[in-house]
Amino acid sequence: MNIAHAPRWLILLALALAARAITFGNPILHVDEEFYFVTARAMLDGALPFIEIWDRKPIGLFLLYAPAAALGYPAGIWAYQVFALIALVGTAALAMRLAERAGWSRGALLAGAAVVFWPNLIDGQGGQAPVFYNLLVIAAVTLVAPRADGTIPSRLVLRGFGAMALMGLALQVKYSAVFEGAFIGLWMMWGLSRSGATLPRVFSTGAIWAAVALAPTALAFGAYAALGQGEAWLYANFLSILDRNPDPLTAQLTNLAIIVLILSPLLASAWLAWWRGERTPVRGFLFLWAAAALAGLLAFGSYFDHYALPLIPPLAICAAGFWGDHRRFALAILALVLVGGQVVLIAKRTTRGTPGEIAAIARTIGAGPGCLHVYSGSTILYPMTGRCTVTPWVFPSHLSRTRERGAIGVDQAAEIDRILALRPEWVVMRKPYRGERSEIRAQMLTGVEAGYARVAVMPLGNERYALWRRGSPSARSAISSE
């Protein structure tokens, strides 16, 4: 088949497969998606999220992972990564359509390629939440964006219901989508007023649209309230984030600077498209969408690199306006991003560890009747070994990071004492990490040294995992990689 005549979705799929080939089947791409898989698996086993396994992410994200988690390990790892691949390609395909609607057809495929390639640079190589909800958001945008001729889409009220339903689902994947949802809602209200609707009708319709968007979240709250756990749901989903201690300002600014540097070609190209190009209603809409996504990034602080994933689709679409007239420049940028992304993925595989290394650790722990507690390290060890947990706070840093002190609904030190009193069969501890409470680590280490034998010290990338097994502290295995 001549590639020039291949369906463009097929081209995007081929590009995505090439960009992500090194990641498939790797269970330790990122600590976040490991935990999403673990939580979904626990939920299928009967654990109630926010009560028996705790996090701040909405329950929709864990439901999204549930079909893959139902397959267990390792098939479920492949499944969620294939699902993420499909979501990425779907997002890229819709980005092309929007670029064409804006009159940027010459840069449309380039925009799609950017959506596929750029996530590898900012920890979006697997199943981070925005990889999934970006598809819902761009589908909502496609429903209500102005037509190519600048006119408002027909049946805007009906389309608005569809768009807000999609945004409601996106909110239940990650709440940061609220900024893009608010933009879409306000734009639709403006469009409705331009079509001749009276102000009472505009505001009443807007209120109904907002209710549709909030319905999935309200349904989740209602389900927990019916179980008598409404307060716990509210704290985990909304209030706990207000109790979290902020990262140092220097760390936040450094993280933000890194994001700006990585996205700078997209930012600059989008700005040039705005500055030099003809301004039409659909183009203005797309630039406003990019601004809303940027507001969502800036509002939450911390600025971990994957927080910038929602910026990629709107920026790539807007960049198409410049790239269409400067294709050699665009191709050079995309080639650098593709190659750079592979370098980043190889580097992360080296520093975070390989599937073989984590499998060796899991084999050493083995399956058994006793529970496991990963004080610090990879939570994927729970499904890999099939061992039970002893605490709802399974994500390790919740119990040990300074930032989480007083923000998880339980005293960290008291929960560590409770875990030690339960005497899990195995305890896993990695080296001290930046942001860890040294007194909590000392507390945990004192406990395991008193009642556990250090069976092994094993490598995982640039880390060393100490594996402690319940028993005589005097017993020591010769297994060690130190």
- Each residue's pLDDT, cut to its tens digit, for the chain (482 residues) gives 455 567 899 999 999 999 999 999 999 999 999 999 999 999 999 999 999 999 999 999 999 999 999 999 999 999 999 999 999 999 999 999 999 999 999 999 999 999 999 999 999 999 999 999 999 999 999 999 999 988 888 899 999 999 999 999 999 999 999 999 999 999 999 999 999 999 999 999 999 999 999 999 999 999 999 999 999 999 999 999 999 998 889 999 999 999 999 999 999 999 999 999 899 999 999 999 999 999 999 998 789 999 999 999 999 999 999 999 999 999 999 999 999 999 999 999 999 999 999 999 999 999 989 999 999 999 999 999 999 999 999 999 999 999 999 999 999 999 999 999 999 999 999 999 999 999 999 999 999 999 999 999 999 999 999 999 999 665 554 444 34
- Give me the number of domains the chain comprises: 2
Residue 479, in any domain of the structure: no
Which residue carries 């990629």 as its tokens?
Answer: 312
With respect to residue 330, please indicate whether it lies within any of the assigned structural domains: yes
Q: Which of 127, 117, 174 is nearest to 29 (CA)?
A: 127
- Domain termination residue (choose one: 350, 375, 402): 350
Residues 225 and 323 in one domain: yes
The answer to whether residues 341 and 376 belong to one domain is no
Judge whether 2 lies within some domain.
no
Q: Are residues 162 and 264 in the same domain?
A: yes
320 lies in the same domain as 417: no
What burial class does residue 251 get, using C-beta atoms within 10 Å of its C-beta: 0-12 exposed, 13-18 middle, 19+ buried? middle
With respect to residue 480, please indicate whether it lies within any of the assigned structural domains: no
417 and 373 both lie in a single domain = yes
Q: Note whether residue 256 is domain-resident.
A: yes
Distance separating alpha carbons of residues 372 and 249, to the nearest angstrom: 36
The verdict on 273 and 133 lying in the same domain is yes
Residue 482 lies in a domain: no
Q: Which pTM value belongs to this model? A: 0.95
Report CA dihedral (345, 350, 355, 360) to the nearest 10 degrees.
Answer: -170
Q: Are 470 and 426 in contact (CB under 8 A)?
A: yes
At which of 304, 324, 350 does a domain end? 350
Tell me what pLDDT residue 28 has: 98
Whether 477 is in a domain gets the answer no
pLDDT at 278: 92
Within this chain, do residues 214 and 110 fall inside the same structural domain, yes or no? yes
| Residue 478 in domain | no
Q: Which domain holds residue 18?
A: 7-350
Mark whether 282 and 208 lie in a shared domain.
yes
